[in-house]
Homo-oligomer: A and B are copies of this chain.
Amino acid sequence: MSTPTTGQRQYAKTPGQRARILDAAMAVFARRGERGASLREIAERVGMSQAGVLHHFGSKNALLLAVLDRFDQEDQPGHPLLTIDESVAFVREELVQGLQRPGLFQLQITLAAESIDPAHPAHDFFVDRYRRVTSQFVEPLDAAAASGGLRDDVDTTALAHLVMGAMEGLQLHHALNPEVDTVASFDLLLDVLAEAFIVSSTPDQV
C-alpha cells in the first residue's frame, strides 16, 4: 500500500527539494525583500528553472507564506518563557545568533518594513507576529511585577516595546553599518534597565 494505484496520484514533491527552495527563497527575500526578489533569482540559486520552483509552491505568494511559516518556527523559543531572566536570555541569544546568521534578521527587518503597507502580502503576518511577541514579553514582566521582582510603578508594556524596538532598530543600523555593535548597545540597555527596575535580593544580577 505504499504507492496506491487508485485515487489521485500523489506527487511527492520531494521534501528535499522543497527545503532547498525554501533556503534559497529565504536568502533572496532577506536580501531583496518580497518585492525586489524574483523567482528567477531564487531558481538560479537552487539550480533549476523558474517554472520548476513554481511547480513546488504554486505561486510566489505561497512561497512567501511558506518562508514566513518556517521563519516563525526557527524563531520560536524551545520552551515557554516564564521569567524575565528567561525572556531576556532568549532575545539576547537571538541577537548574538543574528550576528552569525545575518539572513534571519535581515529577513525579519526587510519584510517587516515592507509589510507596513497594508497591501503587502505579509502585512497581516507581521501585525499578528508583533502582537504575539509583545505579549510573550509583557507576561513575564507582569508576573515579576506581581511577585515583587520588579518595581511596581513600571509601565511593563512600554518596557517591552522598548526592548523589542531597540533590538530591531539596532539590527537595522547594523545591517547598514557593520561597525554598529548590536550586542554592546543592547547589553547597555539591559544593564541600565535592570539597575533601575529590578528588585533583587542579591545585587548585580541581570
How many copies the complex holds: the figure is 2
User: A196 near B: Cβ within 8 Å?
Assistant: yes
Known A-B contacts A35-B35, A36-B117, A117-B31; A112 and B172 likewise in contact (beta carbons under 8 Å): yes
Contacts of A165 in B (CB 8 A): 166, 168-173, 180, 182, 185
Which partner residue on chain B sits nearest A123 by CB separation?
B176
Structural contact, A173 and B184, CB atoms closer than 8 A:
no
Contacts of A110 in B (CB 8 A): 113-114, 116-117
Among B115, B155, B168, B186, which residue has its beta carbon within 8 angstroms of that of A188? B155
Provide a sorted-by-A list of 18 A–B residue pairs whose CB atoms are within 8 angstroms.
Answer: A33-B33, A33-B35, A33-B117, A36-B117, A109-B113, A110-B116, A112-B176, A115-B176, A127-B177, A158-B185, A161-B181, A162-B166, A165-B168, A165-B169, A168-B172, A189-B189, A192-B193, A195-B196
User: Which A residues lie at the B interface, using CB under 8 A?
Assistant: 31-33, 35-36, 106, 109-110, 112-117, 119-120, 126-127, 130-131, 134, 155, 157-159, 161-162, 164-173, 175-177, 180-182, 184-186, 188-189, 192-193, 195-196
- Tell me how far the C-beta of A203 lies from the nearest C-beta in chain B, rounded to whole angstroms: 15
